[in-house]
A and B are shown apart, each in its own frame.
Chain A
Amino acid sequence: MSNQDETPENRLRKELPEEVSAGAAEAAAAPAEQRTELSGRQRLVKGLWPPRVTRAQLIVALLLFGLGFGLAVQVASNSDGDSALRGARQEDLVRILDELDDRTQRLEDEKQGLEKQRDELENSSNQAEEARRQTVEKERQLGILAGTVAAQGPGITITIDDTKGTVEADMLLDAIQELRAAGAEAIQVNGVRVVAGTYLTDSGNSVSVDGNKIDAPYRFKVIGKPQDLEPALNIPGGVVQTLEKEQATVTIERSDKIVVDALRAAKRPDYARSSSQ
Protein backbone atom coordinates (compact mmCIF):
# COMPACT_ATOMS: atom_id res chain seq x y z
CA MET A 1 0.00 0.00 0.00
CA SER A 2 2.72 2.45 0.94
CA ASN A 3 4.49 1.65 -2.28
CA GLN A 4 1.38 2.55 -4.20
CA ASP A 5 1.19 5.82 -2.37
CA GLU A 6 4.74 6.67 -3.04
CA THR A 7 4.78 6.06 -6.75
CA PRO A 8 2.91 9.27 -7.64
CA GLU A 9 5.03 11.16 -5.19
CA ASN A 10 8.12 9.91 -6.94
CA ARG A 11 6.99 11.46 -10.11
CA LEU A 12 5.94 14.68 -8.49
CA ARG A 13 8.81 15.43 -6.28
CA LYS A 14 12.12 14.10 -5.28
CA GLU A 15 11.93 14.17 -1.55
CA LEU A 16 9.88 11.11 -0.88
CA PRO A 17 12.21 8.76 -2.64
CA GLU A 18 14.93 10.28 -0.51
CA GLU A 19 12.73 9.73 2.47
CA VAL A 20 12.14 6.19 1.46
CA SER A 21 15.74 5.46 0.70
CA ALA A 22 16.91 7.17 3.86
CA GLY A 23 14.26 5.36 5.78
CA ALA A 24 15.39 2.17 4.20
CA ALA A 25 18.95 2.96 5.16
CA GLU A 26 17.82 3.74 8.68
CA ALA A 27 15.76 0.65 8.76
CA ALA A 28 18.74 -1.31 7.66
CA ALA A 29 20.81 0.28 10.38
CA ALA A 30 18.17 -0.22 13.03
CA PRO A 31 17.73 -3.56 14.69
CA ALA A 32 15.40 -5.59 12.52
CA GLU A 33 13.42 -7.07 15.35
CA GLN A 34 12.47 -3.65 16.72
CA ARG A 35 10.83 -2.67 13.47
CA THR A 36 8.80 -5.80 13.33
CA GLU A 37 7.64 -5.81 16.90
CA LEU A 38 6.60 -2.14 17.08
CA SER A 39 3.34 -1.16 15.43
CA GLY A 40 2.73 2.29 14.04
CA ARG A 41 0.63 3.25 16.98
CA GLN A 42 3.24 2.20 19.46
CA ARG A 43 5.85 4.17 17.58
CA LEU A 44 3.62 7.23 17.71
CA VAL A 45 3.12 6.89 21.45
CA LYS A 46 6.79 6.26 21.94
CA GLY A 47 7.65 9.34 19.92
CA LEU A 48 5.25 11.45 21.90
CA TRP A 49 6.08 10.26 25.40
CA PRO A 50 8.40 10.66 27.16
CA PRO A 51 9.65 13.86 25.54
CA ARG A 52 13.21 13.56 24.44
CA VAL A 53 15.36 16.52 23.68
CA THR A 54 17.25 15.36 20.65
CA ARG A 55 18.63 17.24 17.70
CA ALA A 56 15.99 15.73 15.42
CA GLN A 57 13.19 16.74 17.74
CA LEU A 58 14.50 20.27 18.02
CA ILE A 59 14.89 20.72 14.28
CA VAL A 60 11.46 19.31 13.58
CA ALA A 61 10.04 21.50 16.31
CA LEU A 62 11.66 24.51 14.70
CA LEU A 63 10.21 23.66 11.30
CA LEU A 64 6.81 22.97 12.78
CA PHE A 65 7.02 26.23 14.64
CA GLY A 66 7.54 27.94 11.30
CA LEU A 67 4.62 26.03 9.82
CA GLY A 68 2.31 26.89 12.69
CA PHE A 69 3.39 30.49 12.60
CA GLY A 70 2.80 30.76 8.86
CA LEU A 71 -0.50 28.98 9.15
CA ALA A 72 -1.73 31.26 11.90
CA VAL A 73 -0.53 34.38 10.14
CA GLN A 74 -2.16 33.34 6.90
CA VAL A 75 -5.42 32.44 8.59
CA ALA A 76 -5.38 35.67 10.55
CA SER A 77 -4.65 37.81 7.51
CA ASN A 78 -7.29 35.97 5.52
CA SER A 79 -9.94 36.41 8.16
CA ASP A 80 -9.26 40.13 8.42
CA GLY A 81 -12.33 41.83 7.05
CA ASP A 82 -10.52 44.30 4.84
CA SER A 83 -8.15 41.82 3.32
CA ALA A 84 -10.69 39.87 1.32
CA LEU A 85 -8.70 41.02 -1.68
CA ARG A 86 -5.33 40.35 -0.11
CA GLY A 87 -5.11 36.75 -1.19
CA ALA A 88 -6.59 37.45 -4.60
CA ARG A 89 -4.38 37.05 -7.62
CA GLN A 90 -3.60 39.75 -10.10
CA GLU A 91 -6.04 38.49 -12.74
CA ASP A 92 -8.78 38.24 -10.14
CA LEU A 93 -8.04 41.74 -9.00
CA VAL A 94 -8.15 43.01 -12.56
CA ARG A 95 -11.46 41.24 -13.07
CA ILE A 96 -12.85 42.62 -9.84
CA LEU A 97 -11.66 46.06 -10.84
CA ASP A 98 -13.32 45.72 -14.23
CA GLU A 99 -16.54 44.63 -12.61
CA LEU A 100 -16.36 47.56 -10.26
CA ASP A 101 -15.73 49.89 -13.17
CA ASP A 102 -18.73 48.49 -15.00
CA ARG A 103 -20.83 48.82 -11.92
CA THR A 104 -19.65 52.37 -11.38
CA GLN A 105 -20.48 53.15 -14.98
CA ARG A 106 -23.94 51.68 -14.64
CA LEU A 107 -24.57 53.53 -11.42
CA GLU A 108 -23.25 56.71 -12.97
CA ASP A 109 -25.66 56.31 -15.86
CA GLU A 110 -28.48 55.66 -13.49
CA LYS A 111 -27.51 58.69 -11.47
CA GLN A 112 -27.50 60.87 -14.56
CA GLY A 113 -30.91 59.56 -15.56
CA LEU A 114 -32.27 60.25 -12.12
CA GLU A 115 -30.74 63.69 -12.04
CA LYS A 116 -32.28 64.48 -15.40
CA GLN A 117 -35.61 63.28 -14.11
CA ARG A 118 -35.21 65.39 -11.02
CA ASP A 119 -34.37 68.45 -13.11
CA GLU A 120 -37.41 67.87 -15.24
CA LEU A 121 -39.59 67.53 -12.20
CA GLU A 122 -38.07 70.64 -10.70
CA ASN A 123 -38.61 72.51 -13.94
CA SER A 124 -42.18 71.43 -14.18
CA SER A 125 -42.80 72.30 -10.58
CA ASN A 126 -41.09 75.62 -11.18
CA GLN A 127 -43.32 76.17 -14.15
CA ALA A 128 -46.34 75.24 -12.12
CA GLU A 129 -45.17 77.63 -9.44
CA GLU A 130 -44.65 80.38 -12.02
CA ALA A 131 -48.05 79.75 -13.51
CA ARG A 132 -49.59 79.88 -10.08
CA ARG A 133 -47.77 83.11 -9.31
CA GLN A 134 -48.94 84.66 -12.53
CA THR A 135 -52.44 83.51 -11.85
CA VAL A 136 -52.36 85.09 -8.42
CA GLU A 137 -50.97 88.29 -9.91
CA LYS A 138 -53.64 88.34 -12.56
CA GLU A 139 -56.31 87.63 -10.00
CA ARG A 140 -55.13 90.65 -8.06
CA GLN A 141 -55.19 92.86 -11.09
CA LEU A 142 -58.58 91.64 -12.13
CA GLY A 143 -59.72 91.82 -8.54
CA ILE A 144 -58.96 95.54 -8.53
CA LEU A 145 -61.09 95.99 -11.61
CA ALA A 146 -63.85 93.76 -10.29
CA GLY A 147 -63.73 95.34 -6.86
CA THR A 148 -63.04 92.12 -5.00
CA VAL A 149 -59.77 93.32 -3.51
CA ALA A 150 -58.78 96.56 -1.83
CA ALA A 151 -56.49 98.90 -3.72
CA GLN A 152 -54.23 101.72 -2.79
CA GLY A 153 -52.13 104.20 -4.63
CA PRO A 154 -51.92 107.86 -5.54
CA GLY A 155 -55.11 109.58 -6.47
CA ILE A 156 -57.59 112.21 -5.45
CA THR A 157 -60.47 112.62 -3.09
CA ILE A 158 -63.49 114.52 -4.32
CA THR A 159 -66.04 115.76 -1.87
CA ILE A 160 -69.34 117.02 -3.32
CA ASP A 161 -71.32 118.85 -0.72
CA ASP A 162 -74.91 119.04 -1.77
CA THR A 163 -76.80 121.14 0.76
CA LYS A 164 -79.76 121.82 -1.50
CA GLY A 165 -80.30 118.30 -2.70
CA THR A 166 -79.89 119.23 -6.29
CA VAL A 167 -77.23 116.73 -7.26
CA GLU A 168 -78.66 113.88 -9.24
CA ALA A 169 -77.48 110.54 -10.30
CA ASP A 170 -76.54 111.57 -13.81
CA MET A 171 -74.19 114.24 -12.46
CA LEU A 172 -72.40 111.72 -10.36
CA LEU A 173 -72.36 109.35 -13.32
CA ASP A 174 -70.82 112.11 -15.39
CA ALA A 175 -68.19 112.56 -12.75
CA ILE A 176 -67.45 108.85 -12.76
CA GLN A 177 -67.28 108.76 -16.55
CA GLU A 178 -64.94 111.70 -16.57
CA LEU A 179 -62.73 110.08 -13.99
CA ARG A 180 -62.66 106.85 -15.96
CA ALA A 181 -61.81 108.73 -19.11
CA ALA A 182 -58.94 110.35 -17.24
CA GLY A 183 -57.58 106.97 -16.27
CA ALA A 184 -59.08 106.29 -12.86
CA GLU A 185 -58.36 102.71 -11.87
CA ALA A 186 -60.38 102.24 -8.71
CA ILE A 187 -63.23 104.34 -7.46
CA GLN A 188 -65.44 104.23 -4.42
CA VAL A 189 -68.27 106.52 -3.45
CA ASN A 190 -69.26 106.75 0.19
CA GLY A 191 -68.13 103.21 0.86
CA VAL A 192 -69.52 101.66 -2.33
CA ARG A 193 -67.06 100.32 -4.85
CA VAL A 194 -67.69 101.50 -8.36
CA VAL A 195 -67.16 98.71 -10.87
CA ALA A 196 -68.07 97.92 -14.46
CA GLY A 197 -71.62 96.98 -13.61
CA THR A 198 -72.29 99.90 -11.28
CA TYR A 199 -75.48 101.78 -11.85
CA LEU A 200 -76.70 104.98 -10.28
CA THR A 201 -80.28 105.90 -9.70
CA ASP A 202 -82.04 108.82 -8.14
CA SER A 203 -83.59 108.03 -4.86
CA GLY A 204 -85.55 110.92 -3.49
CA ASN A 205 -83.16 113.66 -2.54
CA SER A 206 -80.20 111.41 -2.66
CA VAL A 207 -78.69 108.84 -4.95
CA SER A 208 -78.45 105.07 -4.95
CA VAL A 209 -75.35 103.34 -6.14
CA ASP A 210 -76.04 99.72 -7.02
CA GLY A 211 -79.08 99.93 -4.87
CA ASN A 212 -77.19 101.33 -1.86
CA LYS A 213 -78.56 104.66 -0.92
CA ILE A 214 -75.90 107.24 -0.26
CA ASP A 215 -76.31 110.68 1.17
CA ALA A 216 -74.50 113.90 0.59
CA PRO A 217 -71.79 114.77 0.95
CA TYR A 218 -70.68 112.43 -1.77
CA ARG A 219 -67.11 111.50 -1.19
CA PHE A 220 -65.24 109.92 -4.11
CA LYS A 221 -61.99 108.14 -3.52
CA VAL A 222 -60.22 107.67 -6.82
CA ILE A 223 -56.94 105.97 -7.58
CA GLY A 224 -55.21 107.19 -10.69
CA LYS A 225 -52.75 109.82 -11.80
CA PRO A 226 -53.76 112.94 -9.82
CA GLN A 227 -52.27 115.27 -12.46
CA ASP A 228 -54.67 113.80 -15.00
CA LEU A 229 -57.71 113.35 -12.82
CA GLU A 230 -57.94 116.80 -11.36
CA PRO A 231 -57.76 118.75 -14.63
CA ALA A 232 -60.23 116.35 -16.18
CA LEU A 233 -62.79 117.40 -13.61
CA ASN A 234 -61.90 121.05 -13.76
CA ILE A 235 -62.15 121.60 -17.49
CA PRO A 236 -64.48 124.44 -18.46
CA GLY A 237 -67.99 123.15 -18.82
CA GLY A 238 -66.89 120.01 -17.06
CA VAL A 239 -68.07 118.17 -14.02
CA VAL A 240 -67.04 120.70 -11.44
CA GLN A 241 -68.61 123.62 -13.23
CA THR A 242 -71.82 121.74 -13.83
CA LEU A 243 -72.08 120.79 -10.18
CA GLU A 244 -71.27 124.28 -8.99
CA LYS A 245 -73.99 125.56 -11.26
CA GLU A 246 -76.33 123.35 -9.22
CA GLN A 247 -75.18 125.06 -6.00
CA ALA A 248 -73.03 122.15 -4.89
CA THR A 249 -69.57 122.60 -3.48
CA VAL A 250 -66.83 120.49 -4.93
CA THR A 251 -63.53 119.98 -3.15
CA ILE A 252 -60.72 118.09 -4.78
CA GLU A 253 -57.67 116.91 -2.83
CA ARG A 254 -54.69 115.21 -4.28
CA SER A 255 -53.07 112.54 -2.18
CA ASP A 256 -50.15 110.19 -2.55
CA LYS A 257 -52.00 107.45 -0.83
CA ILE A 258 -55.62 106.78 -1.44
CA VAL A 259 -57.04 103.57 -0.03
CA VAL A 260 -60.01 102.11 -1.83
CA ASP A 261 -61.13 99.44 0.56
CA ALA A 262 -64.79 99.05 -0.21
CA LEU A 263 -65.22 95.53 -1.59
CA ARG A 264 -67.87 93.65 -3.40
CA ALA A 265 -68.31 89.94 -3.71
CA ALA A 266 -67.13 88.20 -6.84
CA LYS A 267 -70.28 87.27 -8.65
CA ARG A 268 -70.39 84.40 -11.03
CA PRO A 269 -72.17 85.47 -14.19
CA ASP A 270 -75.35 83.52 -14.75
CA TYR A 271 -75.41 83.65 -18.52
CA ALA A 272 -72.22 85.05 -19.87
CA ARG A 273 -69.50 82.47 -20.41
CA SER A 274 -65.98 82.97 -21.54
CA SER A 275 -65.91 82.36 -25.26
CA SER A 276 -62.22 81.49 -25.31
CA GLN A 277 -61.91 77.76 -24.70
Chain B
Amino acid sequence: MIAVLGLVVGVVAGLLVRPEVPAVVEPYLPIAVVAALDAVFGGLRAMLDGIFDDKVFVVSFLSNVVVAALIVFLGDKLGVGAQLSTGVVVVLGIRIFSNAAAIRRHVFRA
Protein backbone atom coordinates (compact mmCIF):
# COMPACT_ATOMS: atom_id res chain seq x y z
CA MET B 1 0.00 0.00 0.00
CA ILE B 2 2.73 2.41 0.93
CA ALA B 3 4.56 1.37 -2.25
CA VAL B 4 1.55 2.30 -4.36
CA LEU B 5 1.28 5.55 -2.45
CA GLY B 6 4.92 6.21 -3.24
CA LEU B 7 4.26 5.76 -6.95
CA VAL B 8 1.27 8.10 -6.85
CA VAL B 9 3.16 10.70 -4.84
CA GLY B 10 6.05 10.47 -7.28
CA VAL B 11 3.82 11.06 -10.29
CA VAL B 12 2.10 13.98 -8.59
CA ALA B 13 5.42 15.48 -7.50
CA GLY B 14 6.84 15.13 -11.00
CA LEU B 15 3.80 16.84 -12.50
CA LEU B 16 3.77 19.61 -9.91
CA VAL B 17 7.48 20.37 -9.74
CA ARG B 18 8.21 19.99 -13.45
CA PRO B 19 11.96 20.16 -13.07
CA GLU B 20 14.20 20.85 -16.01
CA VAL B 21 15.81 17.58 -17.02
CA PRO B 22 19.58 18.05 -17.01
CA ALA B 23 21.10 17.65 -20.45
CA VAL B 24 23.37 14.86 -19.27
CA VAL B 25 20.50 12.70 -18.10
CA GLU B 26 18.14 13.55 -20.92
CA PRO B 27 18.87 10.68 -23.33
CA TYR B 28 18.83 8.09 -20.55
CA LEU B 29 15.69 9.07 -18.69
CA PRO B 30 13.13 7.46 -21.02
CA ILE B 31 15.05 4.18 -21.22
CA ALA B 32 15.63 4.23 -17.47
CA VAL B 33 11.93 4.74 -16.90
CA VAL B 34 11.06 1.79 -19.12
CA ALA B 35 13.66 -0.36 -17.38
CA ALA B 36 12.27 0.60 -13.99
CA LEU B 37 8.78 -0.23 -15.21
CA ASP B 38 10.06 -3.63 -16.19
CA ALA B 39 11.52 -4.12 -12.72
CA VAL B 40 8.25 -3.05 -11.12
CA PHE B 41 6.25 -5.51 -13.18
CA GLY B 42 8.73 -8.22 -12.32
CA GLY B 43 8.39 -7.34 -8.66
CA LEU B 44 4.59 -7.35 -8.85
CA ARG B 45 4.65 -10.73 -10.45
CA ALA B 46 7.06 -12.03 -7.85
CA MET B 47 4.75 -10.78 -5.15
CA LEU B 48 1.82 -12.57 -6.70
CA ASP B 49 3.95 -15.66 -6.95
CA GLY B 50 4.73 -15.21 -3.30
CA ILE B 51 8.42 -15.00 -3.88
CA PHE B 52 8.83 -11.26 -3.50
CA ASP B 53 11.94 -10.08 -1.77
CA ASP B 54 12.63 -6.42 -1.20
CA LYS B 55 16.40 -6.76 -1.49
CA VAL B 56 16.09 -8.48 -4.84
CA PHE B 57 13.62 -5.87 -5.97
CA VAL B 58 15.90 -3.01 -5.04
CA VAL B 59 18.90 -4.57 -6.72
CA SER B 60 16.96 -5.49 -9.83
CA PHE B 61 15.38 -2.06 -10.03
CA LEU B 62 18.65 -0.21 -9.74
CA SER B 63 20.63 -2.57 -11.94
CA ASN B 64 17.89 -2.44 -14.59
CA VAL B 65 18.08 1.33 -14.66
CA VAL B 66 21.85 1.42 -14.64
CA VAL B 67 22.25 -1.26 -17.32
CA ALA B 68 19.67 0.38 -19.55
CA ALA B 69 21.38 3.75 -19.24
CA LEU B 70 24.73 2.11 -19.82
CA ILE B 71 23.53 0.43 -22.98
CA VAL B 72 22.19 3.66 -24.32
CA PHE B 73 25.39 5.47 -23.38
CA LEU B 74 27.49 2.80 -25.06
CA GLY B 75 25.23 2.86 -28.12
CA ASP B 76 25.62 6.59 -28.38
CA LYS B 77 29.38 6.25 -28.18
CA LEU B 78 29.37 3.54 -30.83
CA GLY B 79 27.09 5.50 -33.09
CA VAL B 80 24.25 3.00 -32.92
CA GLY B 81 22.40 4.72 -30.10
CA ALA B 82 19.07 4.87 -31.90
CA GLN B 83 19.05 1.20 -32.89
CA LEU B 84 20.34 0.01 -29.54
CA SER B 85 17.82 1.98 -27.54
CA THR B 86 15.10 0.64 -29.82
CA GLY B 87 16.39 -2.85 -29.07
CA VAL B 88 16.43 -2.21 -25.35
CA VAL B 89 12.89 -0.89 -25.45
CA VAL B 90 11.75 -3.91 -27.45
CA VAL B 91 13.33 -6.38 -25.05
CA LEU B 92 11.98 -4.59 -22.01
CA GLY B 93 8.59 -4.41 -23.67
CA ILE B 94 8.57 -8.14 -24.26
CA ARG B 95 9.48 -8.72 -20.62
CA ILE B 96 6.82 -6.35 -19.43
CA PHE B 97 4.27 -8.15 -21.57
CA SER B 98 5.22 -11.59 -20.29
CA ASN B 99 5.20 -10.37 -16.69
CA ALA B 100 1.87 -8.72 -17.27
CA ALA B 101 0.57 -12.01 -18.66
CA ALA B 102 1.65 -13.82 -15.50
CA ILE B 103 0.10 -11.14 -13.33
CA ARG B 104 -3.09 -11.39 -15.30
CA ARG B 105 -3.26 -15.10 -14.75
CA HIS B 106 -2.88 -14.58 -11.03
CA VAL B 107 -5.41 -11.82 -10.74
CA PHE B 108 -8.07 -12.90 -13.19
CA ARG B 109 -7.22 -16.57 -13.32
CA ALA B 110 -7.33 -16.36 -17.08
Nearest-CB distance from A265 to chain B (Å)? 86
> Which residues of chain A are near B94, meaning CB under 8 Å?
8
In the complex, chain A residues 68-82 whose Cβ is within 8 Å of any chain B Cβ: 68-74, 76-78
Q: How large is the interface on A (under 10, 10 to 19, 20 to 34, 35 or more residues)?
A: 35 or more
Contact of B49 among A14, A15, A40, A53 (CB under 8 A): A40
Complex contact B7–A43 (CB within 8 A): no
Interface of A is mostly: helix
Nearest-CB distance from A250 to chain B (Å)? 104
Provided the pairs A18-B56, A57-B1, A70-B14 are in contact, do residues A27 and B64 lie with their beta carbons within 8 angstroms? no
Interface of B is mostly: helix
Complex contact A5–B21 (CB within 8 A): no
In the complex, chain B residues 5-30 whose Cβ is within 8 Å of any chain A Cβ: 5-15, 18-19, 21, 26-27, 29-30
> Which residues of chain B are near A19, meaning CB under 8 Å?
42, 46, 51, 53, 56-57, 60
Nearest CB in chain B to that of A21: its residue: B56
Complex contact A15–B46 (CB within 8 A): no
Contact of A71 among B11, B64, B109 (CB under 8 A): B11
CA distance A15 to B26 in the complex (A): 25
Complex contact B60–A15 (CB within 8 A): yes
Complex contact A64–B10 (CB within 8 A): yes
CA distance A16 to B109 in the complex (A): 23
Q: Which of A18, A19, A59, A89 has the most chain B CB atoms inside 10 A of its CB? A: A19
Provided the pairs A41-B107, A74-B33 are in contact, do residues A60 and B13 lie with their beta carbons within 8 angstroms? no
A266 within 8 A of B: no
Provided the pairs A13-B64, A65-B9, A71-B14 are in contact, do residues A59 and B30 lie with their beta carbons within 8 angstroms? no
Nearest CB in chain A to that of B105: its residue: A1
Nearest-CB distance from B28 to chain A (Å)? 10
Provided the pairs A5-B101, A74-B29 are in contact, do residues A12 and B95 lie with their beta carbons within 8 angstroms? yes
A238 within 8 A of B: no
Provided the pairs A2-B102, A87-B30 are in contact, do residues A65 and B10 lie with their beta carbons within 8 angstroms? yes
Nearest CB in chain A to that of B13: its residue: A69
> Which residues of chain A are near B102, meaning CB under 8 Å?
1-2, 5
Provided the pairs A53-B2, A67-B37, A92-B82 are in contact, do residues A73 and B50 lie with their beta carbons within 8 angstroms? no
In the complex, chain B residues 76-110 whose Cβ is within 8 Å of any chain A Cβ: 76, 79, 81-82, 85, 91, 94-95, 98-99, 101-103, 105-107, 109
Contact of A67 among B1, B40, B52, B82 (CB under 8 A): B40
Nearest CB in chain A to that of B54: its residue: A56
Extra 16 A-B pairs, beta carbons < 8 Å, given A23-B52, A24-B51: A2-B102, A9-B95, A22-B56, A23-B46, A23-B49, A40-B106, A41-B109, A49-B1, A58-B2, A68-B8, A69-B14, A72-B10, A76-B15, A76-B18, A89-B81, A91-B81
Q: Which B residues are closer than 8 A to A by beta carbons? A: 1-15, 18-19, 21, 26-27, 29-30, 32-33, 36-37, 39-40, 42-43, 45-64, 67, 76, 79, 81-82, 85, 91, 94-95, 98-99, 101-103, 105-107, 109
- 13 inter-chain pairs at a CB distance below 8 angstroms, sorted by A residue, are A8-B98, A9-B42, A18-B56, A44-B106, A60-B43, A60-B58, A70-B32, A73-B19, A76-B14, A78-B30, A89-B27, A89-B81, A89-B85
